[in-house]
């Protein structure tokens, strides 16, 4: 019996590793193949560093502490959220008043096995005299305007927002506000909220 020696070149090893990484991410890529535009892919790559929440804190994102769920869909007069979870929000107040696709005001994490997993980015635009019309980004109109999300936010903080689920498949849609596959811990700072009321854009 003869044994054949197989030699791996550095280029071949790198190529194999790259292919493995693509394959590991294939389910996400395949599910979102029609929705993840080059612009969204660029955004995802730019924000990948925040998969470590400590890096997010270092860059000015601070946790609102609570993990948020919406057990019931929004009713009449409320934002029409599908039932589902949002997760834990990290806010960067220095980005408020700016609408830069690469600088979302909020990062959203899901607690998984005692750790925080980055699942979405959120753009947050408070109502103000400077906001003349409903914001749009990535060709999508923002949700709202709505009241603040009590109890982790004052009711008076009326705003528009837009979620983008770039790191976790969302059966409700890439830009849906809630994700039925996001679950919060049964203990600790978990808040089961009611969809916020819609408010007029004065």
Residue-wise DSSP of 2-59 = --------HHHHHHHHHHHHHHHTHHHHHHTTTT--HHHHHHHHHHGGGGSHHHHHHT
Average pLDDT, integer, range 60-75: 96
Residue 153's domain comprises 35-192
Res 30 pLDDT > 50? no
In the prediction, which pLDDT does 64 show?
A: 94
Q: How confident is the model at residue 44 (pLDDT cuts 50, 70, 90)?
A: very high
Q: What is the pTM of this model?
A: 0.83
Res 33 pLDDT > 60? no
Any domain includes 41: yes
In the prediction, which pLDDT does 182 show?
A: 97
Res 3 pLDDT > 70? no
For the four alpha carbons of 125, 129, 130 and 133, in that order, the dihedral sign comes to: positive
In the prediction, which pLDDT does 79 show?
A: 96
Q: How far apart are CA 99 and CA 21, in angstroms?
A: 32
Res 187 pLDDT > 90? no
Any domain includes 58: yes
Average pLDDT, integer, range 62-74: 96
Any domain includes 25: no
Average pLDDT, integer, range 34-46: 91
Q: Retrieve residue 199's tokens.
A: 């408010």
Q: How many domains does the chain have?
A: 1
The percentage of the chain sitting over the pLDDT mark of 70, rounded to a whole number, equals 83
Any domain includes 137: yes
In the prediction, which pLDDT does 4 show?
A: 42
pLDDT digit string (tens) for 144-185?
999 999 889 999 999 999 999 999 999 999 999 999 999 999
pLDDT digit string (tens) for 100-146?
999 999 999 999 999 999 999 999 999 999 999 999 999 999 999 99
Any domain includes 28: no
Q: How confident is the model at residue 47 (pLDDT cuts 50, 70, 90)?
A: very high
Q: Nearest Cα to 126, choosing from 149, 101, 151?
A: 149
């Amino acid at each position: 019996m003869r044994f054949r020696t197989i030699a791996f070149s550095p280029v071949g090893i790198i190529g194999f590793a790259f292919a493995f990484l693509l394959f590991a991410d294939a389910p996400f890529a395949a599910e979102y193949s029609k929705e993840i535009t080059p612009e969204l892919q660029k955004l995802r790559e730019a924000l990948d560093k925040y998969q470590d929440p400590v890096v997010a804190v270092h860059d000015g994102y601070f946790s609102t502490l609570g993990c948020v769920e919406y057990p019931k869909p929004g009713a009449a007069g409320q934002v029409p959220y599908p039932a589902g979870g949002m997760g834990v929000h990290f806010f960067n107040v220095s980005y408020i008043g700016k609408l830069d696709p690469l600088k979302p005001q909020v990062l959203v994490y899901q607690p998984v096995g005692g750790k925080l997993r980055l699942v979405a980015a959120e753009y947050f635009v408070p109502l103000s005299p400077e906001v003349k019309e409903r914001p749009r980004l990535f060709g999508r109109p923002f949700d709202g305007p709505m009241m603040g999300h009590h109890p982790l936010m004052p009711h008076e903080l009326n705003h528009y927002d837009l979620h983008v689920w770039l790191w976790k498949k969302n059966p409700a849609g890439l830009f849906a506000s809630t994700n039925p596959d996001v679950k919060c811990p049964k203990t600790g700072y978990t808040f089961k909220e009611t969809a916020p009321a819609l408010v007029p854009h004065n």
